[in-house]
Amino acid sequence: MDDTKGLSYFLLGLGIGAAVGILFAPKSGEETREVIKSKANEGKDYLVKQSGVIKEQVVKQTGAIKDQASEYVDKGKDVLSRQKEQLTAAVEAGKQAYRETVGGPYERPAGTETNY
């Protein structure tokens, strides 16, 4: 955001400077036009340079955002994996408790099949 504000001030200063230069120029019209053309080219070069800098910053920030998002996705996968392990352990503990209580192998009641 600061780069945009600086660019706005630069362009404002460039416009004011050009206007004042035209009004108070002790040079001929042709010389004045050459100076204006030169300043316009300097402004163009500055804008091209600044757009490159801004583009680099956007690319860096985008990369940082992607890295952070990837980190969050990895953390989420880890949490889900732990939850799955805990659920599996709880189911196995339930089966074991049933076996110990009934004294035989666990048999799933009809109609309660799951796909996990």
Spatial separation of the C-alpha atoms in residues 43 and 8, rounded to whole Å? 12
Instruction: Give residue 21's domain range.
Output: 2-102
pLDDT in tens, 63-89: 889 989 999 999 999 999 999 999 999
The whole-number pLDDT of residue 95 equals 87
Could you tell me if residue 114 is inside a domain? no
Q: Determine phi and psi for 49, rounding to 5 degrees.
A: -65, -45
User: Rounded to whole angstroms, how far apart are CA atoms 9 and 73?
Assistant: 42
In the chain, the amino acid numbered 35 is V
Which percentage of the chain shows pLDDT scores above 70? Answer: 83
Instruction: Supply the pLDDT for residue 115.
Output: 62
pLDDT at site 11: 83
Grouping H, G, I as helix, E, B as strand and the rest as coil, residue 68 is helix
The two most distant CA atoms of the chain are separated, in Å, by 111
The answer to the question of residue 14 being in a domain is yes
Domain assignment present for residue 95? The answer is yes
The whole-number pLDDT of residue 101 equals 84
The residues near 114 (Cβ < 8 Å, ≥ 6 apart) are none
Number of domains within the chain: 1
Place of tokens 């599996």: 88
Question: Which of the residues in the chain have pLDDT under 50?
Answer: none
Q: What is the pLDDT of residue 107?
A: 64
In a domain, residue 109? The reply is: no
- Is 62 part of a structural domain of the chain? yes
pLDDT at 85: 93
Closest CA to 55 of 13, 110, 3: 3
Residue 51 lies in a domain: yes
Q: Is residue 110 part of a domain?
A: no
**Mean pLDDT across the chain:** 82
Q: Indicate whether 25 belongs to any domain.
A: yes
